[in-house]
Amino acid sequence: MPGCGKSTIGRQLARLRQLAFLDSDHEIERFLGCSIREYFDREGEAAFRDIEQRVIAETLASGQARIVATGGGSVLRPANRDAMKARATVVYLHTQPEDLARRLSRDTQRPLLQVADPRQRLRDLYAVRDPIYREVADIVVDTAHKSATMLVNLISMQLDMSAGSRQDAE
C-alpha cells in the first residue's frame, strides 16, 4: 500500500544484507523523464501501469540479487504477480488504512490519493489489494507499532529462515 514503508524499509534492509536497492517508482520516473504524477495526469493509469509492468519485468529478469520496492499497485497486473512469484521473495508490509492515512495526510504526490476523501480511498484500495498482496507474498509482516529497525530485523530473520527451509527442501 502507499505509505507502508516500502522504500524506507527496503533501503535499510538492503544496507543490512549488503545488497543493492532499487525503487521501481524511481526507475519508472527515470525512464519517463518526469514524475509519476505528471505522467499519470497526462496519460492515465493504464499507460502508467504498462510502463510499470515493463520496468518490473526488466528488473526481475536481470537475476541480480537485490532488494526491490515496487509501487503499491504493481500487484494489480497478473503479469507482475507472476513475475514476482517466479523470480523473487515477496514481502508484504501489512499496514491498516487508518495508519496509512495518518502517514500520508500531507502527501500531495500520490496520484491515487488526490481525491476528496483520501482516507476512504485508502480503505477502498486496501479492500481490493490486501487479498492480492497476501496471495503473492512469501512473507507478511505487520507494521503496526514497530520501528523501521524492528521491521528490517524481523524481515531479515524471516528471509534467512525462508532461505534455510528452501535449502532443506532441495
Q: Is 85 annotated as a binding residue?
A: no
In contact, 18 and 25? CB cutoff 8 Å: no
Q: Is 10 annotated as a binding residue?
A: no
Q: Is 4 annotated as a binding residue?
A: yes
In contact, 53 and 46? CB cutoff 8 Å: no
In contact, 81 and 135? CB cutoff 8 Å: yes
Q: Is 54 annotated as a binding residue?
A: no
Burial class of 140 by CB neighbour count within 10 A (0 to 12, 13 to 18, 19+): middle
Q: Is 6 annotated as a binding residue?
A: yes
Q: Is 71 annotated as a binding residue?
A: no
Q: Is 49 annotated as a binding residue?
A: yes
| Binding residue numbers for ATP | 3-8, 110
| Binding residue numbers | 3-8, 25, 49, 72, 110, 129
| Binding residue numbers for Mg(2+) | 7
| Binding residue numbers for substrate | 25, 49, 72, 129
